[in-house]
Structure 1
Amino acid sequence: MTDHKTVANRYIDLWNERTPSRRREILAANWTSDARYVDPLMSGDGHDGVDALVAGVQQRFPDFKFRLIGEPNGFGDHVRFSWGLGPDGGDSPIKGTDFAVLSDGRIRSITGFLDQVPAGA
């Protein structure tokens, strides 16, 4: 049975990891090699593509961190969770909801939706 919260926490851990080698370890352990990420602003394929997206978001928002909002849920190999991106300890001005499809317990694809994005972000 899929532990939705573990999947979501590992996903958030990836987006918050600033050390490239550690980020690659997280990808290798929790994402399939052919994983795909897509949202309205960007997309990436495989570990290299996803890693580049994470690095780009970290560069654009160097003082922000991701955090889960609410409880992840899902069924079978499908997981849904919401997240916020903002300064540590403060409100998250950027919020979204992501849908993961798993393969053997690892993320195969993420489809992301942006629920709240301030102008200029």
Structure 2
Amino acid sequence: MPAIDAQDLADRYIGMWNDPDPESRRKTVLDLWAEDGEHILLPPQQMHDQAVALGFATAALEARGHDELHARVTRAYEEFVAPGTFVFRLQEAPRQVRDVVTFRWEAFQREEGQVTGGGRDFLVLDEAGRIRFDYQFPD
């Protein structure tokens, strides 16, 4: 695996969620993720509980491959960032051990001028240094 600058990777990753340009977001998805990369999100507790009540053993949400990943990032941008409600930003410096990079992020609500959410990401990189698995755990 090539040497990875964990700070640069995390900055580009967070920047992608805030990027207003759809083509730039798509290019970043292509640059950051492996072709078969996956984003696996632990859903909010209410959504998890509803899925379990319906008989699902697990309630993780997944986006797989560049098209689904781009759709996921675009949807988050349109819902949270585009209306001017939130901006996503790093909460702590990323840490790396071998092929894993982890960091905390936060959702800053512009109107209230405060952090109203956040979470932790665990990125598992492939041999080319691209994201193979992105495990996201919102608070």
Same structural fold, with TM-score higher than 0.5 when normalized by the shorter chain? yes
Who is 1:91 aligned against? 114
For structure 1, the residue ranges without an aligned partner over 5 or more in a row are 116-121
Residue 58 of structure 1 pairs with residue 77 of structure 2: yes
> In angstroms, what is the RMSD of aligned CA positions?
1.6
Offset at 1:88? Answer: 4.5
> Higher strand fraction: Structure 1 or Structure 2?
1
Q: 2:62 aligns with which of 35, 38, 43?
A: 43
Once superposed, which parts of structure 1, at least 4 consecutive aligned residues long, lie more than 4 Å away? none
1:73 aligns with: 95
Aligned length: 115
Report what 1:5 is aligned to: 7
Could you tell me how far 1:31 is from its partner in structure 2?
1.2
Task: Quote the Cα distance in structure 2 between the aligned partners of 1:85 and 1:51.
Answer: 20
Indicate if the aligned counterparts of 2:19 and 2:77 stay in contact, CA closer than 8 A. Answer: no
Q: CA deviation at 1:45?
A: 0.6
5+ residue gaps, structure 2, are: 44-60
Match of 1:4, as an amino acid?
Answer: A
- Structure 1 stretch displaced more, 53-62 or 96-105: 53-62
**TM value normalised by structure 2:** 0.76
Q: Could you tell me whether the CA contact under 8 Å between 2:88 and 2:106 is conserved in 1?
A: yes
Distance (whole Å) between structure 2 residues aligned to residue 21 and residue 9 of structure 1 = 18
